[in-house]
Amino acid sequence: MAKITHVSPLAPAGFPDLPVIAGAEFASVAAGIKYQDRKDVTLVRLAPGTTIAGAFTKSSTRSAPVLDCQEKIGGDSTEGAAIIVNAGNANAFTGRNGADATHAVTSGVANCLGVPVGRVFSSSTGVIGEPLPHGRITAKLEELKNNLSETAIQDAAEGIRTTDTFPKGSCQSVLIEGKTVNISGIAKGSGMIAPDMATMLVYIFTDAKVEQTLLQSILSELTDLTFNNITVDSDTSTSDTLLLAATGSSGVDITSPAGAFRDALFEVMLDLAHQVVRDGEGATKFLEVEVSGAESVVDARTHALSIANSPLVKTAIAGEDPNWGRVVMAIGKSGAKADRDLLAIWFGDILVAEQGWVSPSYSENDGAEYMHNQDLKIRVDLGLGSHSATVWTCDLTHGYISINADYRS
Amino acid sequence: MAKITHVSPLAPAGFPDLPVIAGAEFASVAAGIKYQDRKDVTLVRLAPGTTIAGAFTKSSTRSAPVLDCQEKIGGDSTEGAAIIVNAGNANAFTGRNGADATHAVTSGVANCLGVPVGRVFSSSTGVIGEPLPHGRITAKLEELKNNLSETAIQDAAEGIRTTDTFPKGSCQSVLIEGKTVNISGIAKGSGMIAPDMATMLVYIFTDAKVEQTLLQSILSELTDLTFNNITVDSDTSTSDTLLLAATGSSGVDITSPAGAFRDALFEVMLDLAHQVVRDGEGATKFLEVEVSGAESVVDARTHALSIANSPLVKTAIAGEDPNWGRVVMAIGKSGAKADRDLLAIWFGDILVAEQGWVSPSYSENDGAEYMHNQDLKIRVDLGLGSHSATVWTCDLTHGYISINADYRS
C-alpha cells in the first residue's frame, strides 16, 4: 500500500469549525478493520423525523452497501435513523457474502440504537474483493453508542478517511425567516487509496426541516452541478455515496427548491467537491474547465469532461505548458457537437485561440507565465448556442503513477 | 520537445522485407519542415487504375488534409494517383490557411506528376496551430519525382515518422487462383510526439485488383477490428489517416468481401496496429483485453475499451499488480450492460474471479507471477450473451508523464 508521506499541496489551511446540527450525533472508534491504531468505524445517530436524501455511484458493479442504501432512501422518517461507515474494506465484489455482511452491520446498529433497520444506512470503503469482517464493527457498537456527541463531527471526518491526505469539512449558516439554519458536511475521497480505486463518501447534515421528496430533488439538482462535475482520473468507484440528512431541529420549514437554503447547500457541496479534487492522487494543480456556447448542457458537459479527463491535457497542466492544441484535440474527440472554425479558447483571461486558429493577440510567453499558477482555468466557447457547463479536475503527474503503479500487491 | 533516447522495449526485432507492389513508387527527401537533416516529406506515385479506400479520424476538429482526403475518396480511378506526406507540421487548427496550404501541396503534386488534383491525397503530422510551410514541400517535388522507386517503401516508413521510436512495416503474400497477391503496409504513430498528440498514419499497398466500393467495404470492416480497437491514452488525433491503394498489377481480381485477400489484409492491419501500440508513449507492457459473453458487440467493445483506457488498470499493469478489482471497477463505469454477480475474469489462463467474487482456485502468487510477462492478456466473460470484442493497449508509466509533461513549450 502506498504510504502517505505528505499533505496535498492544494489542501486548505485547516479543518473548518463546523456548527453543531442539533439532532445529529457522531462517534468514531478504532475497530481494526484493516488499519491498526486509527479510528476506522464511524456512527451517526439522527433524531426521529430526520429526512434523508441520497446520491450514489452509477457503476453497474456497485457494492452491497450502496445497493442497500438505494433501497432504503425515501422510507418513513418518523422514527430515528443512523449512518454507519467503515474504512479499510469496501465490501465490494464480495459475492453473496456482501449483502449478508451489510445486513449484519445495519441490523446490529438498528438493535443497538432502537431504530428500524430500514433506516440504517451503511458505507464501506477500502480494499475490494475481501470479506468485510463485520463482527469487528458490531463488537464496537455499544462503545460507539456511549460516545455519541453532537460536537464530534470532526472525528467523523477523520474516521471515514482511507488514505486521504487531509480531512474534508465545509459549512454554511443562513438566516431564514429570522432563524439560523446550519449546514455541516464532511467528505472523503480521491486521496491515495491503495490497492483499489478512490471512493468518494459525503455526509451532509442540516437542521432545516425539509420534506424527503423536496430534499431529494434539491440534492439531485445540486449533485449534477458539483460532485458529478469533478474528475480525478475518469475512473468511477463502486462505492460512491452521498447522504444528506435534515433533522428539522431549527424549526425552519423549507418548502421551495430555490432560495437561501438551496444556495447555501450548493456552497457546501461545491466546497467539498473541490476539496476532493484538491486531494486528487498526485495533484499539484487545480483546474476549472468551463465550456460555453454549446447547443445543450449535455454537449457542454461532454466537452468539458473530455478536456478534464484527457491525459494529454492533464500532463500539459502538470508540465505548465499552455498547450491549447491538446484542448482542441479533446474537444474534437468528445463526440459532442463542435465547429473547429468557431472555437475560442482562453487560459485564464488570456485569449489563446479564435476562429479556428491561434489568436493574433496571443503571446506564448503570457500563456507560459499563466501556467505557473496553482489554480488554473481553461475556458472554451463553442460559438454554437447558449448553454454552458463547468467541471473541475487536477493535473496528471508522476505522483499519480507512483501512487498507483509503484507497489506490488 | 521530448528527445527520443531509446527504442521502445516492445519493438519488433527489425523492419520486415516488404515485397514490391508493382505500380507503387516511393521517394522521401529532407525538406526542413521542422526537423533538420532528416527525411520529412514522402511522395508515393500510383499507376493509372489504382483504386483507393480510406479511413479517417472521427474528430470534429480534424485537420485540413483529412477533410481534403475525405472529399476525394471514391473518385474516378482511371488516371494515376499520388500520396504526399509531411512530418513536422500537422496543418491542423490553422484556420482558413489550412485548406489553402493543402491545396497548394496537392495541386503542386498534380502538376508535377501529371495526375488530376482530385487524385492527390495528402497527410500532415507534427505540431498543430502553426502554418504549414508548403513552399518547402513544393520546392522538393521535382527531386522527389526523380527519386521515385518501387523498392523505396522502407524509406517512406522512415520519412513519415515524427518521434516514433521505430519504423513500422508489415506484409503478406497469398496465392489466389495460382497467382501471388502481395500486400505491403507502413505506419507511424503513438511514439513520443511532442508538443502535440500522437497521430496515426497508415498506408497500405496491394497489387490485387479490387473495385473501389468493395475495397472500401473491406477496409471499413477491418479497421473496426484493428485500428479502431487500439488505444494508448484514449486521446484521438485530429489527423489520423489510413489509405489503402490497390494497383491491380498482379492481374488477380478480388470480387468477394471474404476470402484469402481479406484475411491477408487483416493480418497486415492487425500487425501494424499492434506495432503502433508497441510504440505507445512510455510503454513497457503490451496488453490484450478480450470481453466475451456480451449481449452485443457494442457492449463488449465498450467494456473492453473502458478497461483498456482506465488509468487505474493501466498503472496496475505498469506496477505488475494483478489488481482485478480495478477491472471490476472499469466494467462498472463503462455504461454498458453487466451483472456484477455473473462476471468472470482471467489474467492469462488464470481464473481470478467468478460469480461476483474472487475465485476459490485463485492464488495471488500465481497472479503476481503472471504479471511479470511483457505481453499480457485480461479476459472478461460477462455471462450475458454470445458477443465479444478484443482491444489492445499498453501500460501507463512514468515514461508517459515524462514525455508529455516534463518539458515546456
Q: What is the pLDDT of residues B166-191, one digit of tens each?
A: 999 999 999 999 999 999 999 998 65
Q: Say how far apart CA A98 and CA A63 lie, in whole Å.
A: 8
Q: Inter-chain contact B129–A95, Cβ cutoff 8 Å? A: no
Q: What is the pLDDT of residue B32?
A: 95
- Three-state SS string over chain A comes to CCCCCCCCCCCCCCCCCCCCCCCEEEEEECCCCCCCCCCCEEEEEECCCCEEEEEECCCCCCCHHHHHHHHHCCCCCCCCEEEEEEEEECCCCCHHHHHHHHHHHHHHHHHHHCCCHHHEEEEEEEECCCCCCHHHHHCCHHHHHHHCECCCHHHHHHHCCCCCCCCEEEEEEEEECCEEEEEEEEEECCCCCCCCCCCCEEEEEECCEECHHHHHHHHHHHHHHCHHHEECCCCCCCCCEEEEEECCCCCCEECCCCCHHHHHHHHHHHHHHHHHHHCCCCCCCEEEEEEEEECCHHHHHHHHHHHHHCHHHHHHHHCCCCCHHHHHHHHHHCCCCCCHHHCEEEECCEEEEECCEECCCCCHHHHHHHCCCCEEEEEEECCCCCEEEEEEEECCCHHHHHHHHCCCC
Show the domain range for A162: 24-278
Sign of the Cα pseudo-torsion (A248, A251, A255, A260, in order): negative
Chain B CB within 8 Å of residue A93 CB: yes
Q: Say how far apart CA B311 and CA A234 lie, in whole Å.
A: 8
Position A29 in a domain: yes
Domain shared by B84 and B120, yes or no: yes
Domain shared by B149 and B253, yes or no: yes
Report chain B residues whose CB lies below 8 A from the CB of A60.
Answer: 331-332, 334, 337-340
Query: Annotated active-site positions of A, please?
Result: 199
Report chain A residues whose CB lies below 8 A from the CB of B395.
Answer: 405
Residue B406 phi, psi (nearest 5): -85, 45
Domain shared by B267 and B292, yes or no: no
Q: Say how far apart CA A77 and CA B48 lie, in whole Å.
A: 81
Report chain A residues whose CB lies below 8 A from the CB of B316.
Answer: 404-405
| Mean per-residue pLDDT, B267-285 | 94
Domain shared by A273 and A329, yes or no: no
Chain A CB within 8 Å of residue B351 CB: no
Q: What is the pLDDT of residue A195?
A: 35
Residue after which a domain boundary falls, among A278, A303, A327: A278
For B58, which residue in chain A has the nearest alpha carbon?
Answer: A333
Number of domains in chain A: 2
What CATH number did the domain enclosing B382 receive? 3.10.20.340
Residue after which a domain boundary falls, among A246, A278, A310: A278
Q: CA-CA distances (angstroms) from residue B198 to A338, B128, B262, B294?
A: 21, 11, 28, 31
Q: Inter-chain contact A95–B355, Cβ cutoff 8 Å? A: yes
Q: Please count the CA atoms within 13 angstroms of the CA of B192 that sit on its side-chain side.
A: 21
B291: exposed, middle or buried (Cβ count in 10 Å: 0-12, 13-18, 19+): buried
Interface test with B, best of A323, A359, A364 (most B CBs within 10 A): A323
In total, chain A counts a number of residues equal to 409
Report the amino acid identity of residue A291: V
Position A4 in a domain: no
Q: What is the pLDDT of residue B198?
A: 57
Cell 445497493 locates to A67
Domain shared by A237 and A307, yes or no: no
Q: Inter-chain contact A333–B236, Cβ cutoff 8 Å? A: yes
Position B5 in a domain: no
Q: What is the pLDDT of residue B1?
A: 35
Q: Say how far apart CA B318 and CA B314 lie, in whole Å.
A: 6
Domain shared by A176 and A145, yes or no: yes
Residue B183 phi, psi (nearest 5): -130, 125
Q: Say how far apart CA A250 and CA A353 lie, in whole Å.
A: 52
Is B199 one of the annotated binding-site residues?
A: yes
Query: Which residues 238-297 of B have a C-beta within 8 angstroms of A?
Result: 238
Domain shared by A145 and A40, yes or no: yes
Asked if A167 and A275 touch (Cβ cutoff 8 Å), the reply is no
Query: Which residues 191-230 of A have a C-beta within 8 angstroms of B?
Result: 195-197
Q: Inter-chain contact A332–B61, Cβ cutoff 8 Å? A: yes
Report chain B residues whose CB lies below 8 A from the CB of A57.
Answer: 332
Position A1 in a domain: no
Q: Is the pLDDT reported for residue B348 higher than 70?
A: yes
Q: What is the pLDDT of residue A190?
A: 64
Domain shared by A266 and A294, yes or no: no
What CATH number did the domain enclosing B247 receive? 3.60.70.12
Q: Before B131, cis peptide (omega within 30)? A: no
Beta strand B286-294 with B387-394 is antiparallel
Report chain B residues whose CB lies below 8 A from the CB of A236.
Answer: 329, 332-333
Report chain B residues whose CB lies below 8 A from the CB of A233.
Answer: 311-312
Domain shared by B243 and B384, yes or no: no
Residue pLDDT, tens place only, B75-108 = 899 999 999 999 999 999 988 899 999 999 999 9
Q: Inter-chain contact B315–A400, Cβ cutoff 8 Å? A: yes
CA distance B283 to chain A (A): 13
Cell 464530534 locates to A152
Q: Inter-chain contact B325–A197, Cβ cutoff 8 Å? A: yes
Residue after which a domain boundary falls, among B221, B244, B278: B278
Q: What is the pLDDT of residue A1?
A: 35
Split chain A (409 residues) into runs of 10 and give each run's mean pLDDT: 68 96 98 89 98 92 94 93 95 91 98 98 90 97 98 96 90 96 92 51 97 97 92 80 97 96 98 93 94 97 94 93 91 92 96 92 95 98 97 92 71
B149: exposed, middle or buried (Cβ count in 10 Å: 0-12, 13-18, 19+): exposed
SS3 B70: helix
Query: Which residues 296-335 of B have a C-beta within 8 angstroms of A?
Result: 309-312, 315-316, 318-326, 328-334
Domain shared by B155 and B293, yes or no: no
Helices (H) and strands (E) in chain B, counts: 12, 18
Q: Inter-chain contact A238–B328, Cβ cutoff 8 Å? A: yes
Interface test with B, best of A58, A333, A382 (most B CBs within 10 A): A333
Beta strand A230-231 with A387-394 is parallel
Q: What is the pLDDT of residue B195?
A: 34
Instruction: Give the mean pLDDT of chain B.
Output: 92
Position B148 in a domain: yes
Cell 476538429 locates to B61
Of B95, B129, B402, the CB nearest to A325: B129
Q: Inter-chain contact A235–B311, Cβ cutoff 8 Å? A: yes
Is A409 one of the annotated binding-site residues?
A: yes
Asked if B303 and B340 touch (Cβ cutoff 8 Å), the reply is no
Domain shared by B183 and B292, yes or no: no
Q: Say how far apart CA A269 and CA A280 lie, in whole Å.
A: 17
Pairs across A and B, CB distance < 8 A: 235
Position A335 in a domain: yes
Position B373 in a domain: yes
Position B151 in a domain: yes
Closest by alpha carbon to B165, among B86, B34, B35, B283? B283
Q: Say how far apart CA B3 and CA A398 lie, in whole Å.
A: 18
Query: Which residues 112-151 of A have a C-beta within 8 angstroms of B?
Result: 127-129
Domain shared by B43 and B76, yes or no: yes
What region, left, alpha or beta, does residue A266 occupy, with left being phi > 0 and alpha being psi -120 to 50 degrees? alpha
Cell of A362: 496571443
* CB neighbour list of residue B282: distance below 8 Å, 6 or more residues apart: B394, B395, B396, B397, B398, B399, B400, B401, B402, B403
Q: CA-CA distances (angstroms) from residue B262 to A205, A372, B202, B245, B269?
A: 64, 53, 17, 14, 10
